[in-house]
A and B are shown apart, each in its own frame.
Chain A
Amino acid sequence: MVYTVALIGNPNVGKSVIFNNLVPGARQHVGNWPGKTVEKKEGKCVYKGTELKIVDLPGTYSLTVRAVDELIARNYIVEEKPDVVVHIVDASNIERNLYLTFLLLELEANLVIALNMFDVAKEKGYKIDVNKLSEQLGVPIVPTVATAKEGMKELKDEIVNAAQKKGVVMMKPKITYGKKIEGLIQFIVKIIKKDETMAQKYPARWLAIKLLEKDEDILEKIKDSIYRRELMEVIS
């Protein structure tokens, strides 16, 4: 069984160190994302008899269409549908880092969080209740110190765990955004579900949110839908 695992995270969080911890140098392969000048790093690693194909997505702060990096990361998750997405979070800068986590949850990615730079957070005097955090987000969290290779084994355990659970456990959003917005989202989701191609291709809730945000890439993608006018009426 080969599982695809995507690594994602803000710049400067130690993502490449984790990639190098998971995939020994010799098994790394650097190529190009098709049609782009951004490098694509991927590699294979074998853990407890399971083969993991690890793809390092470009470091990004969010998943909007502003920059090539972000579009690549987002499209990879939406279209390639990796089995697991590992979000590497800087524990010492956790508040802003969690923004990307929320975006990933909206995307209904099969998430595992590596709470990296845990040592730096400790030095800063932070106390993080990992279990509580994990429970509230509905995502498994592994504290790591990538530079010291701490937590790597536990991370791999969680990755394999999550990969095996994918699709078996329904990803219900634990996090909602308030009655008004949720009402709008549901309204749009109903319209989306009428269009079979759209509903199959993209997670409905995520699509609704992107439409509300007037995401250029998504607006382009729904151009051909017969429900386009209906949708545009709601969001304009």
Chain B
Amino acid sequence: MKAREVLGEDPEIVLADKRYDSISTILSTSLVRGARKWTLTDMLDKVFIHKALGIPVFLALFWAMFRFAFDASAPFMEIIGLFFGLLAEASAGIPNEILASFIGDGIFGGLGFILTFIPPIFFLFLGIAILEDSGYLARAAFIMDRIMFKLGLHGRSFIPMLLGFGCNIPAMMATRSIEGEKDRLITLLVNPFISCGARLPVYILIAGAFFGSMATTAIWSMYFLGIMIAILVALLLRKTILRGEPAPFIMELPMYKAPTFHGSVIHMWERGVHFLKKAGTYLLAGAIILWFLSSFPWGVGVEFSYTGQIGHALAPIFRPLGFDWRIVASLVFALLAKEIAVEALGIIYAVEGETAIAGALVADYSPVVGYTLMAFTLLYIPCVATIGTMKKETGSWKWTIFQLALTLVLAYVVGLVITGIGAILGYA
């Protein structure tokens, strides 16, 4: 007996057919369909997936979501910051100096820092949960599919890219809904190029110090640069090591429904706690390691601490970019979380407050170096927590290390290009 001969066609098709046939027969006696009730959904979709309006509405909604996340979380961040500040102060009273520093700066300082950005992350997750539960997120992927396809990606890749502007970690977690393995991998690999919220304080400091009235433009250029690099690298990966077509776009658009507070909070909570467990571990470990590297050998000051030594050791490599040991050391600090670079520079220059730090920077470096530093901050190795997330999401060290190498090399090359252009244009 041969299947094809007996059936006359592919058994798989016959089976699918027969299943649906049976289903129809069964339903014909037990289901009576009423009048179509898709009207509300169809009406909403006329706007949400409108050819011209779709994208602006989408961008507006996401912008609103980010605003909501950051505004709603601001008071919480203050409270947490204050609380840990108090704890850190209290621990200054511990008799053993080293222990006091370990607990005050290392643990409370590190923890406090980590915990301050939990509110925005949780609110971001809440926003996403609401958009997802309502059914809107499917539409968003649908609208962006056309553009994503041209970039060699799947429509679903857009949401993670967009989330990256807030924080790369939830963004990378969001790639789980992408089906094609290669599509997902590419999205994960280029996500860190999207300028996350942590890099903004660094841009503000540097741009404010060097570029005066052009500061805002300089900052916007970083976002633009990040997007361009992400697109280019994605295209490159598609053409080389992750060749292929994006998975076919087949997606169900559920009826719109009002998300329940209860349901969305549960989704937010699940993702939030998950993120905390993973990112938190890396951050705490990183904070302790960094504390150790910058506090020891004990009492010698930052320049001669291990961090300072690393800065000095690596400085020659970065000289072409105009970076000295101080900048390199602060970049090492920033591996914990990119916004730490600001504080780090303060510690290294032994000054406090942004104006003072800005002053120190302008005194020592040219605007070209400033801009190079901004670009380098944007592109180089993602923060420890992101690296941890990458390992978790890919389940592979190979790709994680590849990403580290990719980002570092790209940052360096772009840095050189900027320095080169700066030199040609006549800035030292």
Contacts and interface: CB of A to CB of B under 8 A. Distances in A.
Contacts of B4: 236
Interface stretch (B68-76, B157-165, B252-260, B356-364): B252-260
B29 interface: yes
A177 B266 contact: no
Interface stretch (B57-65, B229-237, B320-328, B390-398): B390-398
Given A126-B32, A127-B31, A234 B3 contact: yes
Contacts of A94: 27, 31
A10 B252 CA distance: 10
B11 A132 contact: no
Contact of B32 (A127, A181, A183, A213): A127
B308 to A, nearest CB: 39
B23 interface: yes
B37 interface: yes
25 contacts: A16-B266, A17-B263, A25-B266, A30-B270, A37-B393, A98-B23, A99-B23, A103-B19, A124-B37, A126-B31, A126-B34, A129-B29, A133-B27, A133-B31, A136-B26, A136-B29, A137-B26, A147-B260, A147-B263, A175-B22, A177-B19, A180-B6, A187-B1, A212-B11, A235-B3
Contact of A132 (B18, B30, B37, B135): B30
Contacts of A213: 11-12, 15
A208 B396 CA distance: 36
Interface string A114-127: 00000010011111
Contacts of A197: none
A89 B92 CA distance: 59
Given A126-B32, A129-B31, A212 B255 contact: no
A188 to B, nearest CB: 9
Nearest to B270: A30
B257 to A, nearest CB: 7
Contacts of B27: 94-95, 98, 133
A120 B257 CA distance: 10
B36 A124 contact: yes
A111 B110 CA distance: 50
A16 B268 CA distance: 13
B424 interface: no
Interface in A11-36: 11-12, 16-17, 20, 25, 30, 35-36
Interface of B: 1-4, 6-7, 11-12, 14-15, 18-20, 22-24, 26-27, 29-37, 135, 176, 179, 252, 254-255, 257, 260, 262-263, 266-267, 269-270, 274, 392-395
Interface of A: 10-12, 16-17, 20, 25, 30, 35-39, 67, 92, 94-95, 98-99, 102-103, 120, 123-130, 132-133, 136-137, 147, 175, 177-178, 180-181, 183-184, 187, 209, 212-214, 233-236
Nearest to B391: A37
A184 B33 contact: no
Nearest to A97: B23
A99 to B, nearest CB: 6
Given A213-B12, A234-B1, A235-B11, A99 B29 contact: no
Given A124-B33, A129-B30, A181-B18, 14 more contacts: A30-B270, A37-B176, A37-B394, A37-B395, A102-B22, A124-B34, A125-B37, A147-B262, A175-B22, A183-B1, A184-B1, A184-B3, A214-B11, A233-B2
Contacts of A212: 3, 11-12, 15
B255 A120 contact: yes
Contact of A102 (B11, B23, B254): B23
Question: What 9 A-B pairs are tightest by C-beta distance, nearest first?
Answer: A125-B34, A177-B18, A212-B11, A132-B30, A133-B30, A124-B37, A127-B32, A129-B30, A12-B254
A139 B254 CA distance: 26
A11 B252 contact: yes
Contacts of A98: 23, 26-27
B34 A127 contact: yes
A102 to B, nearest CB: 5
A177 B34 contact: no
A212 B13 CA distance: 10
Nearest to B132: A12
A126 B395 contact: no
Contact of B33 (A126, A129, A236): A126
A233 B5 CA distance: 12
Contacts of B269: 25
B285 to A, nearest CB: 20
A133 B24 CA distance: 12
Contacts of B267: 16
A26 B372 CA distance: 49
Contact of A99 (B12, B20, B30, B176): B20
A25 B260 CA distance: 17
Contacts of A103: 19
Nearest to A136: B26
A176 B37 CA distance: 33
Nearest to A213: B12
